[in-house]
Structure 1
Amino acid sequence: MTRRRPMTETAPAVFVIPAIPPAQVLPRLAALQATPIADLKQQWRELFGKEPPPFNKAYIQSRLAYRIQELAYGGLKPETRARLEALGEQLDGGNVVLRRIRADSRPLPGTRLIREYDGVQHVVTVRADDFEFEGRPYRSLSAIARHITGTRWNGWTFFGLKGRAEA
């Protein structure tokens, strides 16, 4: 059985997203820091045309800052969006859940981890598949920590990367 809407029902409200003159961008961005959360949520409704997410103030401020600039100067070109989508699909096979989670908790290749131990500064360079310490490759940070201290350590803890799982 199909149900028809009564003729008296009205269509949902159409939101008109305002254009933002470039001269207003800097003052609006600066004002975001002192704006109460209730006002930030109202700005969200005006600039996105929908209800704000239930996230913290810092998140809402950062997204509003981007949106203000996007409306003033324009967003990403369609070609750029398409390229980013294609790169994302290469990395996660089109799985939306994986797209929201950084699959690898390792620091990015090229990152230098510095730790002082017994008055000596030790520097480790993160590489794509391993770690380099004193010119030699190591498969794990724990192996490097063991080399430095002579005892078993969790390498992530030793180098201050607590809360990350070793890959």
Structure 2
Amino acid sequence: MSEIKALVEAVAKMKLDDVRTAWRERFGEPPPLRSTDLMRRALADRLQLEGSSHPLDKRLAQLAARHRTGSKPTVVAHSFKTGSLLQREWQGERHQVEVVDGGYVWKGQSYKSLSAIARDITGARWNGPRFFGLREG
């Protein structure tokens, strides 16, 4: 596997703070984006365009070596007990979601997913668990 390909694969597994740090170390400027996915893509793109000759590349290569090719990531599913409450403040307003059998209740309305609630709160498509702070990102 080429060195650049290994670096790109390492970037794909990095957490947001690690991607931001890598960006600052590599390019000497603050990262231009806030989304983990977009930051990973931008960093991987710039690594591929510029080639490999930076001290950070060694660290990324070591990170890549720790991950076995072909191993599948573990998906963590969140399950909450009925009656649990999830809270999030959005634009100065506190939103509280109750976990019920088969879904969630927000402002007296039933929902099948947290993503649908997050979309109604923000007016934009969100990953529900991420919006409510249950997933990294």
TM-score for both structures, normalised by structure 1 = 0.35
Larger radius of gyration: 1
Asked which structure has the greater RCO (Cα within 8 Å, sep 6+), the reply is 2
